[in-house]
Chains A and B, each alone.
Chain A
Amino acid sequence: MAPDRGPVTGPRSRRGTTTLEFLVAATIGFVVTGAALALCSAGNRAVASLAASEAAWQESRAALTQWSADWRGSGYDPALVSGAAVTRLAPDTMELSADWNGDGTLLPTGSNPNERLSYAVAPGVFRRGVNGGPRLAAAWPDSALFRYRDRAGADLGSRPDPGAASIAVARLVLPTSRGAPPPVAEWTVARRNP
């Protein structure tokens, strides 16, 4: 028995589909499909932008947390003979040392490689150099700079005497989508060592 295909009514069903009808239907199909794909593509771009923004914040937090600990402990010298200190400060770089293992020297060893540190910031760069060898900690900021203050909070300018600088401010401008105001992360950290 033939399957029931429903009632056959009207001349269209008997004629089938004309070339013109097929072309119109195909065009409409292409337009609708293209619009749907464009919507998906816009959604994908938005999701990717959100993910990139989250990653930028998270990596910035991680990098600045590391920097904060280094700056707070800079000049750590429990043996009082190593000469650990902050040695150079500029808007885009800082150099510091700390006798983390308390052996009285700042010589790098395999187990203690972080006693002499430098930080360098620039658009797209946030580097933590260990013993002179730069190592990328994060590469997110659109722009970044350091500023310095004394213990009372007074601004010391862009290249202060390293001994006078007690507070450092790291300011990072993070990437953003076109047109939106860029998010700015600013961390203010005070040194603890004399």
Chain B
Amino acid sequence: MTSAPRPAERGTALAVVLWALVALGALALAASVGAVVDLRLAIRYREHAASLAAAETALAEALAAVTRDPARAARADSVTGAEGGATWRSRWSPTDGRVRLGSTGSVGSATREIEAWAEPSGAGWRITAWREIR
């Protein structure tokens, strides 16, 4: 014949169960926090990649603009645009037969900026130097 557990036995069993629940809860919390942090970093990385693409779009649009209208290459000018949540802007100024371009692209909270130099090449322009500023 079995007897009902005494209060001390019930307390011990409860302590063990709670201990296990706390340990498993801590594990689940750590995993959740890690996943959220990783997700945010991945989103931020994607925004930065999209910003860089937008800055390069700005650069291409600027070169297209001075190709269409070569007179614009003789003075400081700029182009701007937006597409699919990204905004971009490119400014340029003439220097010794070349143009120096500064292009910025933004998506969400990420902004990327590149600097490039271009020189006339045939009917268009070609990039001779390219770097990321940020």
Contact = CB atoms under 8 A, between A and B. Distances in A.
Tell me whether A and B are bound partners.
yes
B127 interface: yes
A76 B48 CA distance: 22
Given A40-B19, A61-B45, A194 B131 contact: no
Contact of A80 (B20, B128, B132): B128
A78 B41 CA distance: 34
B27 A77 contact: no
Query: Dominant SS at the B interface?
Result: helix
A107 interface: no
B88 interface: no
B64 interface: no
B131 A54 contact: no
A32 B45 contact: no
B110 to A, nearest CB: 12
Nearest to A32: B16
What range describes how many residues of A lie at the interface? 20 to 34
Interface string A42-61: 01001100110110011001
A175 interface: no
B2 interface: no
Interface in B77-134: 100, 116-117, 126-132
B76 interface: no
A47 B30 contact: yes
Interface string B1-40: 0000000000010001001100110110011001001100
B20 A193 contact: no
A49 to B, nearest CB: 10
Contacts of B45: 61, 65
A72 interface: yes
Contact of A100 (B20, B31, B34, B131): B131
B16 A47 contact: no
Given A39-B23, A50-B31, A57 B38 contact: yes
A76 B131 CA distance: 6
Contacts of A141: none
A45 B130 CA distance: 47
